[in-house]
A and B are shown apart, each in its own frame.
Chain A
Amino acid sequence: MKMDLGTIKLILKHREPFLFIDFIKDISDNTIEASLRVSEDDVFLKGHFPGEPVIPGVLLIEAMAQTAGFLVAYNLTKEKGEESGSVEFDFFLSKVNSVKFKAKIIPPAILRIKAKISPSLVENFYETSGQVYVGDEPKMMGNLLLYIKTKNNGKNLFS
């Protein structure tokens, strides 16, 4: 199933210039592929680096977190039998377990962000593994821990 930016904004509360997915190419119960078009004019490229634009690796981590976050929140909304956008979420990146950057990405580029999620042993935590590709070339791979809960409904399990 494909989804556009309008649907993404119903689920994620991130907004430009800090929204790093603009299209959903495919989504299933535990996998998702999103994409992001990065142009040479994007604001963060002005300083990274002047005259020598490279997409910052830290933004690839964020893009992967947003992609996986969309999947979790979309599924939770669906499970509740609600319409997209009617349930609000809080999103936290809790842990960056392992990330490897294989090659730099020079704009303009279309990023393909793939993520797979599995629920963890503790409620509201989700393990994410994924990759960022340009074309068929892997540029980054990583494993993140996300904490996602419906707004005002979170409990801390340990304290």
Chain B
Amino acid sequence: MDKNELLNNEKELLKWVKEELIFKRLNLADLGLSVDAVGDTTLLFQKEGLDLDSVDGLELAVGIEQKLGLKVGKLKEDTSKTKFATARSICDFIRELHLTKSMTPIK
């Protein structure tokens, strides 16, 4: 599926975030996890969730830039915690980036 199809299909985007971006890109199978471990609202960086670390966070940001051609930019502490909290919040963040990109600047 190409990036435009993903960006215009909420359900497919969420599936891509969970299965490709989080599960495959972060090699979660190496930790003995199955793809079902990544739910829509599973906490990604909390101990009671997947307990990912900041290297994983960086990997997610790079994955979004590479696959979707969106500029994530420097992640700040507060934004990284909220925007990367769950698969669903990552989707919202991606759609926000896409929207900002497609808006024509007012001159």
Q: Which residues, 9 to 36 on A, are CB-close (under 8 Å) to B? A: none
B73 CB–A CB distance under 8 Å:
yes
B41 CB–A CB distance under 8 Å:
no
Q: Which residues of A contact B72 (CB under 8 A)?
A: 121
Given A94-B55, A157-B54, CB of A121 within 8 Å of CB of B74: yes
CB-nearest residue of chain B to A124: B54
A159 CB–B CB distance under 8 Å:
yes
Which one of A94, A145, A147, A157 lies within 8 Å of B81 (CB-CB)? A157
Which one of B45, B46, B58 lies within 8 Å of A122 (CB-CB)? B58
Q: Which residues, 56 to 87 on B, are CB-close (under 8 Å) to A? A: 56-58, 61-62, 65, 72-77, 80-81, 84
Q: Which residues of B contact A158 (CB under 8 A)?
A: 44-45, 52-54, 56-57, 80-81, 84
A156 touches B75 (CB 8 A): no
Minimum C-beta distance from A143 to chain B (A): 12
Given A157-B81, A158-B84, CB of A121 within 8 Å of CB of B53: no
Minimum C-beta distance from B28 to chain A (A): 16
Q: How far is the CA of A15 from the CA of B72 in the complex (A)?
A: 38
Given A125-B54, A145-B55, CB of A157 within 8 Å of CB of B61: no
A121 touches B77 (CB 8 A): no
Q: How far is the CA of A104 from the CA of B56 in the complex (A)?
A: 33
B74 touches A123 (CB 8 A): yes
Given A158-B84, A159-B46, CB of A122 within 8 Å of CB of B53: no
Q: How far is the CA of A125 from the CA of B84 in the complex (A)?
A: 17
Other than the known A122-B61, A125-B58, A159-B53, what 6 A-B pairs have Cβ atoms closer than 8 Å?
Answer: A122-B54, A122-B58, A122-B80, A155-B77, A157-B75, A159-B54
Name B's A-contacting residues (CB within 8 A): 44-47, 52-58, 61-62, 65, 72-77, 80-81, 84
Give me the 6 closest cross-chain CB pairs, A-B, nearest first: A158-B45, A121-B61, A122-B58, A158-B57, A157-B80, A159-B45
9 A-B pairs whose Cβ atoms sit less than 8 Å apart in the complex? A121-B72, A121-B75, A145-B58, A155-B77, A157-B54, A158-B45, A158-B53, A158-B54, A159-B81
